[in-house]
Structure 1
């Protein structure tokens, strides 16, 4: 089973007949005139009256001034209101929750709310099934902040830690098994390389014309195609591809990337952009294409 970027990771999957079909779709960014704004969601608790994110979490958060002593102990002079005895009161309602209890409650609220948001947004839809004529898989994934540091060295001229950061992998199905090497395999790889660079260039042009930053990795050298020079690289057998849903097979003499459907009959390229995953154009990519 292919490795997942994160459990519940947001992703949009589309199967297309060729690279130019993907290029044609991303050109819609240039003609998309509707203003787009990312929605910000606030998770509100129904019983505990907490709001996520909660700035009061942690041992260094503000304490209740009525109980200034350790252990939430106060004196008569520090109480603003006289204590009223409440018979049959539950212990949890008498004292405020501990920091760890409050953290657990808000984390649970966030998980439940995020699952509901993803369900309402269509992120939990069943992935499409490729047809025999589909020779390309295009997957757009939302890269979480916790994994962005793995790609920061690739783009020294762009801050990928702020704002949206979407990873787009383009997998072309091959006729030959990429574990072997022959003149036919070499010719096919050269053809697929040229096809990918031309298509990725046009996709980046469409994204940049729409006001977004975009760059892609040249599979022949593992370097960003448009960005400034960097000593970092991302070859198709790099272990970071495991986080993007692929497997890396070690053959002893070399390594080869494996696609979850096509195995080693695949040629993989990667593109990065700050266009958000929930942009309408990217969301429409998962709709069935017309032959």
Structure 2
């Protein structure tokens, strides 16, 4: 059974391997016609104090609320004693300011981007807190794949829009999915075993990501993924922009980029440098069953 951690704007699940997630995603895609996201109607307003419009006498000029007869929806105060009590209560309030100047001044662009980036990140501390609070069970030894979906804020889409010149990422929904696989070898070193494992994981990721993107497309959404070998979109139009796994933008997805002097390596919050990372982009919203219900083996 895979574990799941849900937070506003983020879903994290663990599975034994990528194939399990692909099969789960395909199963939801085949049943997408039967999976409807519920829409809730707005509660009916209280009509006891409202008139039926149009007014048969005044027509469209008739008020919709008899309590506010004057222009601008203004009406007389009929409970003057209560109003006087509220005024007296406000007069007794200590108006000593309890805020600093930074709370009333508008944020600078780099401050706003920094705040949003910080909200977007998933740090190791946050995952530890989720484990401690029992909101998320730690992955068992057999769970070697993490499927993390983030709802991308509008301001961070600028960092990714050049990767897809034929797609306007600034409009509609954008969900960034990070697939992390725990490796047997430490990726900070090079050896024939490390190279062999990376090649196997690369082939597995490309095949699995292509099937996941196909499932999203069958459900009516746009989807593409970054080929780790080239750093470019696998299905999109040609572009000179890349996103390799050691790119600094991965910090905004919750990973660390370690500078070893001779090279850089990506570090997973739980598995450190024993990890292989891949990324998908889709226009499917985070609450769609293809993403939200990807939490257990089929």
Kept after mapping to 2: 8 A contact 1:13/1:127: no
Match of 1:137 among 128, 131, 146: 146
| 1:141–1:128 Cα change, 3 Å | farther
Match of 2:201 among 192, 199, 206: 192
CA distance in 2, matches of 1:200, 1:208: 12
CA distance in 1, matches of 2:35, 2:297: 25
Q: Deviations over 1:47-66 (max 9, x none)?
A: xxxxxxxxxxxxxxxxxxxx
Secondary structure of 1:269's counterpart equals: strand
Correspondence for 2:174: 165
Say if 2:33 is the partner of 1:33.
yes
| 1:29–1:250 Cα change, 3 Å | same
Correspondence for 1:18: 17
| Uncovered stretches (5+) of structure 1, i.e. residues with no partner | 1-7, 43-79, 95-102, 105-123
Say if 2:220 is the partner of 1:211.
yes
CA distance in 1, matches of 2:247, 2:167: 22
Kept after mapping to 2: 8 A contact 1:13/1:285: no
- CA RMSD for the aligned pairs? 3.0
Secondary structure of 2:19's counterpart equals: helix
CA distance in 2, matches of 1:236, 1:81: 63
Secondary structure of 1:13's counterpart equals: strand
Kept after mapping to 1: 8 A contact 2:216/2:290: no
Secondary structure of 1:196's counterpart equals: helix
Is the radius of gyration larger for structure 1 or structure 2? 2
| Uncovered stretches (5+) of structure 2, i.e. residues with no partner | 1-6, 43-73, 92-102, 105-132
Moved more, 262-271 or 131-140: 131-140
Q: Deviations over 1:165-191 (max 9, x none)?
A: 111111111111000011111111111
Correspondence for 1:90: 87
Kept after mapping to 1: 8 A contact 2:13/2:294: yes
Secondary structure of 1:139's counterpart equals: strand
Match of 1:289 among 284, 289, 297: 297
CA distance in 1, matches of 2:179, 2:202: 12
Kept after mapping to 2: 8 A contact 1:9/1:141: no
Kept after mapping to 1: 8 A contact 2:177/2:280: yes
Cα offset, 1:269, TM superposition: 0.2
Kept after mapping to 2: 8 A contact 1:15/1:128: no
CA distance in 2, matches of 1:129, 1:282: 20
Secondary structure of 1:169's counterpart equals: strand
CA distance in 1, matches of 2:227, 2:216: 18
Say if 2:240 is the partner of 1:231.
yes
Q: How many pairs were matched up?
A: 218
Correspondence for 2:117: none
Question: Structure 2 length as normaliser, TM-score?
Answer: 0.66
Correspondence for 1:114: none
Secondary structure of 2:266's counterpart equals: strand
| 1:147–1:177 Cα change, 3 Å | same
| 1:38–1:125 Cα change, 3 Å | farther
Cα offset, 1:255, TM superposition: 0.6
Question: Structure 1 length as normaliser, TM-score?
Answer: 0.67
| 1:15–1:83 Cα change, 3 Å | closer
Kept after mapping to 2: 8 A contact 1:170/1:268: yes
